[in-house]
Structure 1
Amino acid sequence: MPLLTFNDCGIYCERADVYIDPWKPVDRALITHGHADHSRWGNKYYLCTRAAAPVIRYRLGDIKLETVEFGEVRTINGVRFSFHPAGHIIGSAQIRVEYQGEIWVASGDYKLEDDGLSEAYEPIRCQHFITESTFGLPVYRWTPQEEVMADINDWWRQTASEGRTAILTGYALGKAQRLLDGLDTSIGKIYTHGAIENTNEVLRKQGIKLPPTTRVTREINKKDYPGNIVVATPGAIGQPWVKKFGNASIGAASGWMTLRGARRRRGADRGFVLSDHCDWPSLLEAIDLTGADNVYVTHGYTAIFSKYLREQGLNAVELHTEYEGELAEIETKGNAETEKENAAADAE
């Protein structure tokens, strides 16, 4: 039997009796990162990186959680587990699993570009590699982060010169902080949606440096917003909450902005292609760096991507999982985090 198998609860290591990012409650869960589709409530025991733990605790509440450092080995019934940087968001990890020379890597979500906030991606050699394919089509090719942020700051500068408010959307954990880190504070003041500011507070307490931000509240005079920027969650757009900013220009930062029509569907005036996932070339590079002959594609363009890998001579398998990539954080599906975001918006 393979060291890792896939069942209706998630990725399972029978010998150690643990799951990686299970989507149904289990006894012992190893968690790659804090996004809603990978870190779910209801498990009896959680293990994650020390850097990921504060946000996971904030999102899931009172859970039994232990932490490891990157590279630290935990041995369970002879199976060696270690967590290595995935580059996706702060604290995100790939999980390396080894037993008697058989090595698997469950990558969770990952990206190769170093964003300056997340721990930089570390390639891990293995025979079996579990990968996402959120943007697993050749059309997805990212522009370097510095160029995207320059475009965003130019847009904000132009909006400010027109006496309008810039509203920039990005999901609360990961994307929002990456945007904040790249904003030019000489242009104006940064305001934040409540769900984003709650996450900022958690990250600041663990030593993550972010620029000064001000939480949007009812007490703020509406005349204070023009010329400045509001960083909001995608779910806030189209809600009554947005009306307080008056004449505003809305920008959306997402890998989906590559596609024609995506900006309109997000209710945005401007689209900026910025993703916390790999583009097509990076996915192929990451797989090559592992040296793996066996690749398991868990979410995204799974059928197309796995077919392409097979054509390149790899043993690639398409898997049906409940991971959703970037959609998990930007769609409103009634999950606990979305409800928390809506409650925050209603209170502002």
Structure 2
Amino acid sequence: MIRPQDLLCPRPEGLYCAPGDFYIDPVRPVDRAVITHGHSDHARSGHGAVLATPQTLDIMGERYGAQFAQAMQPAEYGEVVNRDEVEVTLVPAGHVLGSAQAVVRWKGLTMVVSGDYKRRRDPTCPPFQPVACDVFITEATFGLPVFKHPDDKDEIARLLRSVAQFPERAHMIGAYALGKAQRIICLLREAGWDETIYVHGALERLNALYERHGVDLGPLAPATTGRKKDEFAGQIIIGPPSALQDRWSRRFPDPVAAFASGWMQVRARARQRGVELPLVISDHADWDELTATVDEIRPGELWITHGREEALARWAELHGVSARALALVGYEEEDED
């Protein structure tokens, strides 16, 4: 009788597939890796061979240089790749551009590794695709019942109301450089903000990459020192979260410090960062999305890789799904620089 742990098992390097001899999102260099998405806690350089979506490979190349691995194999969504006796298929995770779940099949057993994911619509990437499986291996970054994220459109509307209310001030939004910044830009465009959005230099290369992959970000310009301070009044500037408290922010007129993150639901975090306008916009599933996903898939077993594992495992057990917490280390909280 085949056991799930015969196909995937946790090791210090990450989830390991012995029959296919590869790791999924390993936290240290390995010979063969399957990478779910381009965030640095999941996509590291130095591997022998990397299998990922073309977008994720491009992101890794942009961040680490063209030779980030000895060999790179792109796999489109839905394409079946054989690793010895194991079939690997990447399907959309809805997290950021190129993000994927890894569907691993072997001798009639199907295990799905979610990577990071969300169930909300995102104009910058395909939506999460549920896959029937024997074992669903999920994240739980926001795996507590208190985390219930509001509608993205409502948060963007709050931002635009503040811009209208304080036309003499600049609005400076801290947003993670990969995924969150581009999503905020697209949501602003959908809400009718057609003006130039000014961006920190740390975002420019990834913005250009998103554009190359067909994501229209509209008019952007560098938030450089070549402009007078008062020219930024009434404007929206987006930079990495660290820029909110950096000298860089002093070039703007009385800036309203905003921060887009699921953690902005925690008021203490907003206060610690000096955030005046917290925007609760997350690229991770909240509690309702996590539990609805498990309820929809109804796997034979639920494994939880990282985050708030205990609460989600308890919820699963109460709803008839056997669960275990893997407590993998090396995966960071959302939006930390």
TM-score per shorter chain, which class?
over 0.9
SS of 1:153's equivalent in the other structure is: helix
Partner SS for 2:162: helix
Q: Is the 8 A contact 1:124 1:289 kept in 2?
A: no
Match status 1:19 vs 2:23: yes
TM-score (norm 1): 0.90
Residue 181 (structure 2) aligned to one of 167, 176, 200: 176
Q: Distance in 1 between matches of 2:48 and 2:194?
A: 47
1:86 equivalent in structure 2: 93
* Mapped contact 2:22–2:34 kept (Cα < 8 A): yes
Distance 1:16 1:308, change over 3 A: same
- Secondary structure of the structure 1 residue equivalent to 2:90: strand
What pairs with 1:225-240 in structure 2 (closer than 5 Å)?
Answer: 225-240=232-247
Aligned to 1:307: 314
**Is 1:164 aligned with 2:169?**
yes
Distance 1:326 1:154, change over 3 A: farther
Q: Which residue of 2 aligns with 1:279?
A: 286
Per the TM alignment, residue 196 of structure 1 is displaced from its structure 2 partner at its CA by 1.4
Q: Aligned partner of 1:193: which letter?
A: H
- Determine whether 1:198 maps to 2:198: no
Return the alpha-carbon distance in structure 2 between the equivalents of residues 186 and 76 of structure 1.
47
Equivalent in the alignment of 1:75 = 82
Task: Please list, as runs of the form range in 1=range in 2, the aligned pairs for 1:66-145 lying within 5 A after superposition.
Answer: 66-145=73-152
| Distance (whole Å) between structure 1 residues aligned to residue 336 and residue 155 of structure 2 | 23
Q: Which residue matches 2:158?
A: 151
Q: What amino acid is the match of 1:98?
A: R
Distance (whole Å) between structure 1 residues aligned to residue 183 and residue 284 of structure 2: 13
Q: Report the alpha carbon displacement of residue 139 of structure 1 after superposing the two structures with TM.
A: 1.0
Alignment length (residue pairs): 328
Listed one character per residue, the Cα deviations across residues 101-136 of structure 1 (whole Å, up to 9, x for unaligned) are 100000000011111221111000001111011111
Q: What stretches of structure 1 of length at least 5 have no aligned partner?
A: 333-348
Indicate whether 1:210 and 2:214 are aligned: no
Contact 2:35 2:42 in 1 (8 A): yes
Secondary structure of 2:7's aligned partner: coil
Amino acid in structure 1 at the alignment position of 2:181: A
Q: Distance in 2 between matches of 1:158 and 1:140?
A: 29
Match of 2:41 in 1: 37
1:52-84 CA distances to partner (integer Å, 9 max, x unpaired)? 222121012122322111000001112110000
Root mean square deviation, CA, Å = 1.5
Mean Cα deviation higher: 243-252 or 126-135: 243-252
CA distance in 1, matches of 2:250, 2:288: 40
Evaluate the alpha carbon distance shift between residue 81 and residue 186 of structure 1 in structure 2; reply closer, same or farther with a 3 A threshold.
closer
Q: What TM-score, normalized by structure 2, do the two folds share?
A: 0.93
